[in-house]
Amino acid sequence: MGKIKLLQGNEACAEGAVYAGCTFFGGYPITPSTEVAEFMAKRLPQIGGAFMQMEDEIAAMAAVIGGSLAGSKALTATSGPGFSLKQENMGFAMLTEIPCVIVNVMRGGPSTGVPTGPGQSDIMQCKWGTHGDHPIIALTPSTVGEMFTETVRAFNLSEKFRTPVILLADEIVAHMREKVIIPATGEIELVSRQMPSCRPEEYKPYDVSQGDVPPMANFGTGYRYHVTGLSHDAGGFPTGNASIVHEDQIRLNRKIYGRLSEIEKWEETGTSDAEIMLFATGNTARSARTAVRLAREKGIKAGLMRPITVWPFPDVRVRELAGQARAIVVPEQSLGQLALEVERVAHREIPIEKVWSVGGEAISPVQILSSIENAHRAAR
């Protein structure tokens, strides 16, 4: 039986990291994610782990990469401006296939914006913030309990696919308090990176003969190998061979997009007969769920699809649900980042109501209900 705790979302995230086996945190304090760092600063030394406050967000991301290369499950936490600074080193981790978890507790922006208010405008930054073509996994929790479980899942996916994973929370979910059941040890399966079975002198860090996710040796265990941000061959050394570079880029994407069933996750409410379909994430999905109930009480068949894995975007299921709808409503705390993705996937000429709020306040169920009613009238 697990322990029951009353936790803030950021605390639940840190608890999830420890449960998942995280032993290294490199970060820099920034509102509204600082509680993650505060918790890890206290907790990691108690379990033999290490906490490092770096001089800035760039160094924090570099430290996390180093910690992972040395064999630790590694975590950093930030918000919008810091997330921007991490992008170059995140791209390095993508190409070099270094597992780590990046928590981005979104706030209002751009620039310093509304540091203590919620936002959801970093969705596209997760996907397109770094240069070049690469896949990304980003998870969007909606409850304090999910801040725990999705952090654990983020580490599992990171280790399984040898890739950075983003936990894309928002200020409201990060700072609210709810009851959380911390599972007993072993109750949630934990994944660790695949280690090489060959002798150190035979090891190649990007040898794909065993599959699209190569085994990863830890520095300091007798395996010596080269890590570079340049396009590289199987041995990790730079190459300008166009064929090798092309095939490796394709593999990086294939290892994620070729196994979507192991990554994608979503929640549905009232979608089986819904004529007005809502799509929402994070704290906004909580308001949307209430709005669906209120609409049903008025005789409007509304339903909600909440992507928990926002990247890769769940194209197939979104397209199916959009296909049965007479109208779509997308509430979000950004100016259409989620709505544009829904429109891209739905690809239908039906009414789409967009509920936007970027002032640093949550979208209320009443606001969403009003848009549902508008969409219902437009679809007649």
pLDDT on residue 16 = 98
The tens digit of pLDDT for each residue in 124-141 reads: 999 999 999 999 999 999
Same domain, 70 and 170: yes
Interval 60-74 mean pLDDT: 98
* Cβ contact 2:27 at 8 Å: no
Name the pLDDT band for 379 (thresholds 50, 70, 90).
confident
Q: How many domains does the chain have?
A: 3
Q: Which two tokens stand for residue 247?
A: 């095939």
Interval 335-342 mean pLDDT: 97
pLDDT exceeds cutoff 80 at 97 = yes
Cα angle vertex 58, ends 52, 63, to 5°?
A: 35
Per the domain annotation, does 193 fall within a domain?
A: no
Which of 182, 208, 229 is the last residue before a domain boundary? 182
Task: Residue 30: name the closest of 144, 137, 109, 135 by CA.
Answer: 109
pLDDT exceeds cutoff 80 at 255 = yes
Name the pLDDT band for 164 (thresholds 50, 70, 90).
very high
pLDDT exceeds cutoff 90 at 2 = no
Which of 133, 152, 182 is the last residue before a domain boundary? 182
Name the pLDDT band for 57 (thresholds 50, 70, 90).
very high
Residue 30's identity, in one-letter code, is I
Which of 149, 182, 215 is the last residue before a domain boundary? 182
Domain that holds residue 164: 3-182
Same domain, 93 and 12: yes
pLDDT exceeds cutoff 70 at 150 = yes
Cβ partners under 8 Å of residue 56, min gap 6: 28, 85
* Cβ contact 279:334 at 8 Å: no
The tens digit of pLDDT for each residue in 209-231 reads: 989 999 999 999 999 999 999 99
Per the domain annotation, does 190 fall within a domain?
A: no
The tens digit of pLDDT for each residue in 9-48 reads: 999 999 999 999 999 999 999 999 999 999 999 999 999 9
Pairing type for strands 309-311 and 137-139 reads antiparallel
Q: Average pLDDT over the chain, rounded to whole?
A: 96
Per the domain annotation, does 213 fall within a domain?
A: yes
Write out 126-165 in H/E/C secondary structure: HHHCCCCCCCCEEECCCCHHHHHHHHHHHHHHHHHHCCEE
Write out 49-109 in H/E/C secondary structure: CEEEECCCHHHHHHHHHHHHHCCCEEEEEECHHHHHHHHHHHHHHHHHCCCEEEEEEEEEC
How far is it, in rounded angstroms, from Cα 287 to Cα 366? 8
Same domain, 46 and 175: yes
Cα-Cα end-to-end distance for the chain? 51
Cβ partners under 8 Å of residue 202, min gap 6: none
Same domain, 231 and 245: yes
Total-model pTM? 0.97
Interval 232-248 mean pLDDT: 96
* Residue pointed to by tokens 């995230």: 13
For the domain that residue 289 is a member of, what is the CATH number? 3.40.50.920
Same domain, 101 and 248: no
pLDDT on residue 210 = 85
* Cβ contact 90:74 at 8 Å: no
Same domain, 96 and 226: no
Same domain, 70 and 216: no
Task: Residue 61: name the closest of 35, 94, 86 by CA.
Answer: 86
For the domain that residue 177 is a member of, what is the CATH number? 3.40.50.970
Same domain, 161 and 250: no
Q: Which two tokens stand for residue 197?
A: 């079975």
Per the domain annotation, does 189 fall within a domain?
A: no
Task: Residue 287: name the closest of 374, 372, 365 by CA.
Answer: 365
pLDDT on residue 380 = 80
How far is it, in rounded angstroms, from Cα 357 to Cα 332? 7
In three-state secondary structure terms, 323 is helix
Interval 233-247 mean pLDDT: 96
Per the domain annotation, does 195 fall within a domain?
A: no
The tens digit of pLDDT for each residue in 305-335 reads: 999 999 999 999 999 999 999 999 999 999 9
pLDDT on residue 274 = 97
Interval 129-156 mean pLDDT: 97
